[in-house]
Amino acid sequence: MTVSRVKTAILISGRGSNMRALVEAAQEPDFPAEIALVFSNVPDAAGLHIANAFGIPTSALSHRDFGTREAFERALDAKLGDHGVELVCLAGFMRLLSEWFVDHWAGRMINIHPSLLPSFRGLETHARALKAGVLIHGCTVHYVVADLDAGPIVAQAAVPVLAGDTPKTLAARVLSQEHRLYPMALRLVASGATRLEDTRVVTSVNASADVVMIVPGPIPLSKGSGRAFEPLGR
Ligand code: GRF
């Protein structure tokens, strides 16, 4: 059976590890999206080399070469049109998008963010999660709306925050879940199982049943560690 695959562009600015996860997933014969283009606003982004190695068409336009945000986005939009793109995945794309571009791609553009939204929108999410003292952290795939990291949620994955974590160790734990979550979310959106109706996500599957929820097991206290707190009244 031939599956009709949704032509999808991935927009990156850097190393492209999520892009690679999406490209690898899209190699499955039953995957509902075809990666038609990897685009970067940073012409020497490492991820472009990865895409090239997979034989995926790539394109780069530096935003610095355009006088206005809109001029850059019009050129980007033209590239997407040239490649017949129907769906856009932002994967570490470090440019704020204008209301025009976001409205133009409304319901057809998703992003991955390294926190459990709506907590920790914006940058440095891992350091901020550690500072806040949360015990569960994670990542979110959401539809893109004009407000940064505020769009309707498609899927989430959670990881524990462990004693001794640094922003780096926590980022690595989250990233490995991003690589599982984003392909799953793209599968939901490209297949039509999940879609945006007005401002609400409508889904025909229980996406939350499939997310990666990692819960810490019993706490391994070393022998003789004793009680930290004696019961009251003794
Ligand atoms: C990821 O952590 C993603 O959640 C965030 O930017 C990072 C991109 O990493 N939006 P990579 O380029 O996919 O490796």
Higher pLDDT, 218 or 30: 30
Contact (Cβ atoms closer than 8 angstroms) between residue 57 and residue 154: no
In this predicted model, which residue has the larger pLDDT, 216 or 55? 55
- Does this model's pTM top 0.75? yes
**Does residue 207 carry a pLDDT above 90?**
no
Beta bridge partners of 195: 202
Q: Based on the number of CB atoms within 10 Å of its own CB, is 49 exposed (0-12), middle (13-18) or buried (19 or more)?
A: exposed
Q: What is the mean pLDDT of residues 146-169?
A: 95
Neighbour-count burial for 96-126, b at 16+ CB within 10 Å, e otherwise = ebbeebbeebebbbbbbbbbbbeebeeeebb
Q: What is the mean pLDDT of residues 198-203?
A: 92
Choice from 42, 178, 186 to test ligand 1 binding pocket (greatest atom count within 8 A of CB): 178
Atom of ligand 1 lying closest to residue 178 CA: 4
Segment 165-178 shows an average pLDDT of 96
Average pLDDT score over residue span 43-54: 98
State yes or no: is 113 an active-site residue: yes
Residue 51: its pLDDT value, please?
98
Ligand 1 midpoint to CA 192 (Å): 25
Q: Above pLDDT 90, what percent of the chain?
A: 85
Nearest CA to ligand 1 atom 10: 92
Task: Please give all residues whose beta carbon lies within 6 A of any atom in ligand 1, as ranges.
Answer: 12, 14-19, 47, 91-92, 112-114, 139, 175, 178
Compute the mean pLDDT over every residue in the chain, rounded to the nearest whole number: 91
Residue 114 has pLDDT above 80, yes or no: yes
For atom 6 of ligand 1, the residue with the nearest CA is 92
Give me the pLDDT at residue 37, please.
Answer: 98
Res. 132: pLDDT tops 50: yes
Q: Which atom of ligand 1 is nearest to the CA of 13?
A: 12
pLDDT at 208: 59
Output the pLDDT for position 4. Answer: 85
Tell how far the Cα of 94 is from the centroid of ligand 1, in angstroms: 9
pLDDT band at 205 (very low <50, low <70, confident <90, very high): confident
Provide the residue type at 100 as one letter. Answer: W
Name the active-site residue from 49, 63, 83, 113. 113
**Separation of CA 49 and ligand 1 centre (Å):** 16
Q: Is the pLDDT of residue 65 over 50?
A: yes
Question: At 234, is the pLDDT very low, low, confident or very high (cuts 50, 70, 90)?
Answer: very low
